[in-house]
Amino acid sequence: MSFDAIYRIAGSSMNAQTVRLNTVASNLANADSAAARPEDVYKARKPVFASVYENGELNRPAGIGGARVQVLDVVTAGREAVRRHEPANPLADADGYVYYADINQIEEMTDMMAATRSFETGVEVLNRIKSMQQGLLRLGEV
């Protein structure tokens, strides 16, 4: 009987959601950064999650057990830069255009809420498991 795997799983989930929140914060912060050329525009970042199955424990065949979350990569989502006519902007080119990243703020906000909720689920699991293990430790005290 081991609680280690559960702690690992909940921890990996919270870690993955933190990475996700990190990308959301970065995307929202750079939503209004202008660039002189479309190539230089900030690109929205998105994490890629994958599951890693727990095995290799003693007395337990492979495949029986939970799965951790792994952040495989943080990729840049390929959306076209938006061109805006702002002649007063110091970055504007000869025709008066600057380029902005096409970041959907509503999408980022919903992503943020979903990530927060998943993180809280991880905290809840940890608390629950902690009380289960503490109960088990107190078993002898009758």
Residues that bind other proteins (CB under 8 A): 1-3, 5-6, 9-10, 12-13, 16-17, 20, 49-51, 54, 59-61, 63-69, 114-115, 117-118, 121-122, 124-125, 128-129, 131-132, 135-136, 139-140, 142
> Please, which residue, 36 or 125, has the CB nearer to other proteins?
125
Roughly what angle, to the nearest 10 degrees, separates helices 105-137 and 4-29? Answer: 160
> Please, which residue, 60 or 84, has the CB nearer to other proteins?
60
Name the minimum Å distance from CB 25 to other proteins.
17
> Please, which residue, 51 or 76, has the CB nearer to other proteins?
51
Residue 84 carries which side chain, given as an amino acid letter? R
Q: How far apart are CA 112 and CA 92, in angstroms?
A: 32
Dihedral (CA of 121, 20, 82, 86) sign: positive
φ, ψ for residue 30, nearest 5 deg: -100, 10
> Please, which residue, 87 or 131, has the CB nearer to other proteins?
131
The conformation of residue 7, written as its DSSP 8-state character, comes to H
Name the minimum Å distance from CB 90 to other proteins.
40
Question: What residue has token string 């939970």?
Answer: 66
